[in-house]
Amino acid sequence: MRFDVITLFPELFAPHFVHGVTRRAFESKQIDVRLWALRDFGDPPHSRVDDRPYGGGPGMVLLAQPLERALAAIRADRAEDAPAPLVNFSPAGESLRQSVVAEFASGSGAILLCARYEGVDQRFIEHRVDRELSIGDYVLSGGELPALILLDAVARLQPGVLGDSRSHEQDSFSAGLLDCPHYSRPTTLDADHGGASVPEVLLSGNHAAIDRWRRDRALTLTITRRPELIARARADGQLTGPDEAALLRSTSSKL
Ligand code: 4FV
């Protein structure tokens, strides 16, 4: 799949494509990222890409025309029948969730607009942008980090990227729940490190019991920290009888 990124700072991206498990997806071009420097499409004579907001006020706004030129160049270069969606990152967008990531991970890619300054001329958004995504209720200096977050989350879902595909089947949110706790060596920490031991069930080799224990811990943590996720999982029919029993136990134990 191909992602074209419109950005004022293309140099911010490359370091993220050569480290960690996702490197394989980028180097193998499973995720083919093309970077387009918005400055190359600026208004002559000084490649201007922003100007003051009409109506006054602080800051600058990204101009529509340089963005139109960049988009036209990308569409011509992609030359695809089904035009890829143009995505703008903004606090006003729909929240980026694992379900949205999964959509992109099974698609043909997208064009990612990384805004800067106060944002983008609204006419370009209304006329050209297909989808606005938010990574959270805070204001960033630019859309590059949100774009990298989407690319990272999509890359790790590509076949063969995570050593064991169960890894992402079991992750947080793919089951609509927070993840269970994880433990590794040693089975018991020494006293000055708290002396805590690993839950016995994890050493039992009884995988049905281990899966049940992990599911129950994920449910308990989720009902405590993100009860709205439990409501959504229940509404989506993702909770079984034993799940509801575990939730009852965890909520009644708190009473
Ligand atoms: C943002 C967010 C975000 C707003 C103005 C870029 C900045 C600047 N994008 N989730 N939160 N974007 O703060 O996605 O242009």
- For 161-187, how does the pLDDT look when each residue is reduced to its tens digit (9 = 90+)? 887 766 666 666 667 899 999 999 999
Task: Say whether 156 is catalytic.
Answer: yes
Which one, of 101, 130, 114, 128, lies nearest residue 36 by Cα?
A: 114
Using CA atoms, how far residue 53 sits from 50, 56, 118, 119, 124, in Å, is 9, 6, 9, 10, 14
Q: What is the average per-residue pLDDT within 74-97? A: 95
Q: What local confidence, expressed as pLDDT, does residue 129 receive? A: 98
CA angle centred on 104, ends 103 and 108, rounded to 5°: 115
Statement: residue 250 has pLDDT above 90:
no
> pTM for the complete prediction?
0.93
State CA 115 to chain mean position distance: 17
Q: What local confidence, expressed as pLDDT, does residue 31 receive? A: 97
Q: What is the mean pLDDT of the chain?
A: 94
Q: Which of ligand 1's atoms lies nearest the C-alpha of 140?
A: 13
Q: What local confidence, expressed as pLDDT, does residue 165 receive? A: 62
Q: Which residue has the higher pLDDT, 253 or 90?
A: 90
Q: At 133, is the secondary structure helix, strand, or coil?
A: strand
End-to-end CA distance of the chain: 50
* Residue 71 to residue 74: CA distance in whole angstroms: 5
Q: Which of ligand 1's atoms lies nearest the C-alpha of 90?
A: 9
Q: What local confidence, expressed as pLDDT, does residue 72 receive? A: 97
Statement: residue 58 has pLDDT above 70:
yes
Q: Which of 15-19, 38-42, 247-251 has the lowest mean pLDDT?
A: 247-251
Q: What local confidence, expressed as pLDDT, does residue 166 receive? A: 63
Cα of 118 from ligand 1 centre, angstroms: 9
Q: What local confidence, expressed as pLDDT, does residue 243 receive? A: 96
* β-strands 32-37, 109-113 pairing: unpaired
Which structure tokens are listed for 109? Answer: 């890619």
Position 209: which residue type? A
pLDDT tens track for 107-153 = 999 999 999 999 999 999 999 999 999 999 999 999 999 999 999 99
Give backbone dihedrals phi and psi of 93, rounded to 5 degrees, phi first. Answer: -80, 170
pLDDT tens track for 176-222 = 899 999 999 999 999 999 999 999 999 999 999 999 999 999 999 99
Task: Say whether 118 is catalytic.
Answer: yes
Position 80: which residue type? E
Statement: residue 52 has pLDDT above 70:
yes
The owner of tokens 């990152």 is 89
Cα of 80 from ligand 1 centre, angstroms: 29
Q: Which of ligand 1's atoms lies nearest the C-alpha of 133?
A: 14
26 close to 18: Cβ distance less than 8 angstroms: yes
Task: Say whether 66 is catalytic.
Answer: no
Which structure tokens are listed for 36? Answer: 């387009």
Q: What is the average per-residue pLDDT within 12-16? A: 97
Q: Is 106 exposed, middle or buried (0-12, 13-18, 19+ CB in 10 A)?
A: exposed
Sign, CA torsion 118/124/126/129 = negative
Which one, of 48, 32, 108, 39, lies nearest residue 70 by Cα?
A: 39
